[in-house]
Amino acid sequence: MNWITRERPKIDRIACPWLIKRFIDPEAIFHFVPFELVKSGAKQLDAIPFDIPEVEYTHYKDECTFDYFVQKHNIEDPAVRTIAKIVRAADTDRHDMAGQASGLWAISAGLSFNIKDDHKLLEIGMVIYDGLYSWAKHLQNERHTQNPTEGLLIEVYRKFLKQKASSQKIPSWVKELKEIIQDQIDTDLSLSLQDVSKSLQVHPAYISREFSKYFDDLSFGEYLRKLRIERAIKLLETTQYTLAEIAYLTGFSDQSHFTRIFKKHTGLPPSIYKKQIIKASKK
């Protein structure tokens, strides 16, 4: 059967073809076309459209197209259900939902950046999702050597949990934690509250509640997004990177998502912000 979706796939539009080939339609043929040609192409090719608005196979509420495929075709495999959560977290930029989401996004974005042939990209993506499936089915409980910075972050949280919070004095761990996060933000945009809570064996809701008291009244995820915007501003001011490249380097799902979050934080789209920087430099 023919399936058709938007060109330049990254997360959902690679994960869904993998799911279709492995669990739904082994003989599936996939077509990637510009957004405005998906529906007309579906009629011409007698293909099923997916991952665009106003078709059956698409996003519903806070779930992505991959979730709908799993539900529609009653796929009960626990490993697929695990992957569904990771794909949803990566595709909707809610990386705190699954510790693996940031890595999946980084790999997917990097491959899309390097490979311009969508079918070649899908071919490599199939191998990646086969690996992710094997991990989800057989290796979830295995751990690699913990990153030293991550271990330091855990140690700081443990210090915090041992001391009673004071309403009059900010605990010493707050400054230390801010420095660790700031150091880490330049190389790792995927610090996960879920991973922290697992290592501490403390419910993430408790950590999240205490975290916001000392970090600008923001949640763990909101605080990291704030730092990502600050990093984006620095790149706008000091480099000649395109907006798409800055979105990629600061961990956003795409340029449009980067633009929306940037405007929410600064009041200006990044394109206007950059023009103002150029204008000011010429004075």
My answer on whether 175 and 103 are in the same domain is no
Residue with more model confidence, 2 or 183:
2
Q: Are residues 116 and 12 in the same domain?
A: yes
What is the overall mean pLDDT for the chain? 83
Rounded Cα distance between 190 and 185, Å, is: 8
* pTM > 0.85: no
Q: Is 56 helix (H, G, I), strand (E, B) or coil?
A: coil
Burial class (CB in 10 A: 0-12, 13-18, 19+), 45: middle
Query: Are residue 128 and residue 65 in the same domain, yes or no?
Result: yes
pLDDT band at 87 (very low <50, low <70, confident <90, very high): very high
Q: What is the pLDDT of residue 145?
A: 47
Contact 69, 76 (CB under 8 A): no
Residue 220 lies inside a defined structural domain of this protein: no
Task: Report the CATH number at residue 278.
Answer: 1.10.10.60
- Over residues 136-162, the pLDDT tens digits come to 998 887 665 445 555 565 566 566 666
| Final residue in a domain of this structure, among 109, 139, 169 | 139
In which domain, by residue range, is 42 found?
Answer: 2-139
Q: Based on the domain organization, do 118 and 177 belong to the same domain?
A: no
Does residue 118 sit in the same domain as residue 182?
A: no
Closest CA to 277 of 241, 227, 245, 252: 241
- pLDDT at residue 231 in the model: 85
What mean pLDDT do residues 3-14 have?
96
Question: Which of the listed residues 215, 237, 255 is the one where a domain comes to its end?
Answer: 215
Structural domain total, the chain? 3
List the single range of 57-71, 81-95, 235-249 with lowest mean pLDDT.
235-249
264 with 176, same domain: the answer is no
Q: Is 279 left (phi over 0), alpha (psi -120 to 50) or beta?
A: alpha
